[in-house]
């Protein structure tokens, strides 16, 4: 199991995102993605799952931290492929329900680190 980041790309600034560049961070499992994100001090509220493509957007500095912590650099296409694979693999199994996703986006977790 691994965590991956793609290359930095120009970002569109808005009221929620003030950075010029960003990348995506994905993992082989949602559990690993959230555990790794916690390790580099990302908030679970930053987790994104639009269209069932689970990931975190990273700033240039957080990307560097992720790589230092062991994230593997992969191409943009490989990141999209991994997001699609995660969506397919988890649709009928551990894929978070809409309610779980909403809890994750609000950063609600139980004592064991799981969503409650």
Residue-range domain boundaries for the chain: 3-106
Note the pLDDT tens digit of each residue in 4-24. 999 999 988 888 889 999 999
What is the rounded distance in angstroms from the CA atom of residue 10 to the CA atom of residue 81? 21
Q: What is the pTM of this model?
A: 0.72
More confident position, 63 or 103: 63
Highest mean pLDDT among 24-28, 81-85, 97-101: 24-28
Closest CA relative to residue 54, chosen from 99, 76, 24, 18: 24
CB neighbours of 96 closer than 8 A, spacing ≥ 6?
A: 30, 49, 104, 115
């Amino acid at each position: 199991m691994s965590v991956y980041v793609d290359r930095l790309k120009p970002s569109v600034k808005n009221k929620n995102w003030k950075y010029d560049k960003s990348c995506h961070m994905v993992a082989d499992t949602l559990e690993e993605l959230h555990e790794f994100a916690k390790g580099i001090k990302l908030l679970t509220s930053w987790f994104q799952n639009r269209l069932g493509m689970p990931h975190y957007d990273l700033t240039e500095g957080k990307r560097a931290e992720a790589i230092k912590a062991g994230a593997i650099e992969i191409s943009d296409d490989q990141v999209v492929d991994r997001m699609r694979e995660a969506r397919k693999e988890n649709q009928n199994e551990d894929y978070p329900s809409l309610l779980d996703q909403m809890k994750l986006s609000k950063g609600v977790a139980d004592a064991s680190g799981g969503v409650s």
